[in-house]
Amino acid sequence: MSSDNLKSQEAPQLTPEEINRYSRHILLPQVGSLGQRKLKGAKVLIVGTGGLGAPLALYLAAAGVGLIGLVDFDLVEASNLQRQIIHSTRDINRPKVASAQDRLKSLNPDIKVVTHNVRLSAANAMAIVKNYDLVADGTDNYPTRYLINDVCVLLGKLNVYASIFQFEGQATVFGAPHGPCYRCLYPSPPPPGLTPSCGEGGVMGVLPGILGSIQAAEVIKLIVGGAEPLVGRLLLVDAWRTLFNELRIEKDPNCPVCGPNPTILEPIDYEQFCGLNREPEEIIEEITATDLKDRLDRDDKNLLVVDIREPHERSLYPFPKAKPIPFGQLARRVDEFEGRDLVFICKIGQRSLYAIRAMRRLGYPGRALNLQDGLAAWAKAVGDPPPPY
C-alpha cells in the first residue's frame, strides 16, 4: 500500500471532534488534514497482540487508524504483563484479542476493531489478510513469519515487520514491489530448537515497546505517504547499549516468492518448512520427573543430568545435580559423557528433544533420555515453585 492507493476522494471526512482529537497530527505539514483522513480510511491487520502488537495497536488506535484487525489465539498470562502493556492484571485468562479490543476502544471509541481469535494458518490467512490494506507482523515464531510474508506477497500487501530477543530487535518493511521480502533476508529458518523463544531466553520489557513503536511509525508513514519507509533497510536496535544500526537488504532475484519466476504460488505447510512437524528419526525415550528424582535419590552412578539451558536461565532456577552444557556446546563436549545414561533438561522439554537428536547424529553410544515436560514438571513433582521465567 502507498498513499496512491487511498485517493483523497476516497478518504473519509473528519468530524469536528476528530479534528480536535488529531489536531497535533493535522498541524504537521507532512500529515495535514488529508493524511489524517487517509488514516481514518485505512485498514491495518496486526498479527499478534503480545509484546510488539501491544504498543503497535495502541499507537495506531491513538493515531486514528479507522479499522484495526487483531489476530491472536492466546490467553493473557501474568508473565505477559512485564511487556504487553495493552493488557492488565484483571485480563489474566481472557483471550488476548478481547482484552486488546477493550483497551483500544477505551482509548479511541471512534475506531473499529475486528478480532480474529484464531491461529493464523495456511488455511485461513489469505481470507483474513485480503480484507486489509497492510499487515504488521508482531509474531514470535518462524512458521507464522514465513506465512505472513508469503501471503502478503501473493496478495500485494506490505508487511511491516519486527522481531525481538533479550535486548535486541530489528524492523523493516517487506513486500514492496521494488524491495525484498522476508525470504530474501532469511531464505530458510534455523534448525528447530536452535533459537530459544522469549519465554526461554527472556526479553527486556521495554524492548518491544521500542520496536512496536517503530512499526507503528512505519505503518503511519505508509498510509500517509511522502516519507521514506524502511523498504530495503533493516534497522537493528540494541537496547542494552542504546545503539541503532542499519543494514541494506537486497531483493533476491531467485526468491521463490517475490522473484520474477516464483515457485510458491499459494500458502504452504509452514510447520513442515520450518521442520516442526517432521517425523522423528526414532522414538525418543523420556523419563518422568518422579522417576528422575528416584534415580537421583538412589545416587545412580550411571546417570548424568545435562542442563542445556543458558547461564542466565540456570541462575533463575538452578538444578544443582546437573552438568551445565549449553545446547550450542554439546558437539564439542560429547567426550565428557563417558557413555552414561544422559537425561537432558530444559525449561519445557522442547530444546532437550533437539539436543538428543543432535547426540544421535554425533553417534553417542549411550542412552539419551528427555525429561518429560522439562523443569516445569520437575518443580511440580518436588514441590518447588515453577521456574520464574
Q: Which residues contact 65 (CB under 8 A, 6 or more apart)?
A: 39, 40, 42, 44, 111, 219, 220, 223
Domain boundary among 211, 240, 273: 273
268: Cα within 13 Å, side-chain hemisphere: 16
Whether 59 and 198 share a structural domain: yes
323 strand-pairing partners: 306
CA 303 → CA 80, 238, 324, distances in Å?
37, 41, 14
pLDDT of residue 2: 43
Is 274 noted as a catalytic residue in this protein? Answer: no
Check residue 40 and give its pLDDT: 97
pLDDT of residue 191: 60
- Of 126, 149, 131, 129, residue with least CA distance to 139: 149
Q: Which three cell numbers stand for residue 242?
A: 542504546
Question: What pLDDT sits at residue 365?
Answer: 87
Q: What is the CATH number of the domain that holds 122?
A: 3.40.50.720
Helices (DSSP H) in the chain: which residue ranges?
Answer: 16-21, 23-26, 32-41, 53-63, 96-107, 125-129, 142-155, 182-185, 198-201, 207-224, 270-273, 289-297, 311-316, 351-361, 374-382
Is 250 within a domain? yes
Does 387 fall in a domain? no
Q: Is 280 within the bounds of a domain?
A: no
Per the structure, the count of domains in the chain is: 2
Residue 389 in any domain: the answer is no
Task: List, run by run, the mean pLDDT of 10-residue segments along the chain (389 residues).
Answer: 47 95 96 96 97 97 98 92 94 94 97 95 94 95 93 97 92 95 86 57 87 98 95 95 93 93 87 62 83 92 90 84 86 83 90 85 88 90 80
Please state, in angstroms and rounded to a whole number, the distance separating the CA atoms of residues 382 and 329.
Answer: 29
- Angle 311-317-321 (CA atoms, 0-180°, nearest 5)? 85
User: 292 and 259, same structural domain?
Assistant: no
Q: Which of 198, 255, 258, 274 is catalytic?
A: 198
| Whether residue 198 sits in one domain with residue 110 | yes
Q: Are residues 186 and 261 in the same domain?
A: yes
Contact indicator for 348, 313 with CB cutoff of 8 Å: no
The reported pLDDT for the residue numbered 190 is 67
Catalytic residue among 152, 181, 255, 346: 346
Q: What's this model's pTM, rounded to 2 decimal places?
A: 0.73
Are both 306 and 261 inside the same structural domain?
Answer: no
To the nearest 5 percent, what fractions of the chain are helix, strand and coil? 40, 20, 45
Distance, in Å, from the CA atom of 71 to the CA atom of 58, rounded to the nearest integer, reads: 15
| CATH code at position 291 | 3.40.250.10
pLDDT at residue 272, as a whole number: 73
One domain, residues 65 and 130: yes
Question: Is residue 346 annotated as a catalytic residue, yes or no?
Answer: yes
- The helices-and-strands tally (H runs, E runs) of the chain is 15, 13
Question: 222: domain range?
Answer: 3-273
**Residue 270 Cα to chain centre, angstroms:** 15
Whether residue 206 sits in one domain with residue 145: yes
**Whether residues 255 and 303 fall in one domain:** no
* All cell numbers assigned to 275: 521442520
**Is there a single domain that holds both residue 326 and residue 229?**
no
Residue 360, burial from CB neighbour count under 10 angstroms (0-12, 13-18, 19+): middle
Q: What is the pLDDT of residue 351?
A: 84
Parallel, antiparallel or unpaired: strands 168-174 and 322-324 = unpaired
Name the domain boundary from 273, 308, 342: 273
Which residue matches cell numbers 531466553?
201
The answer to the question of residue 207 being in a domain is yes
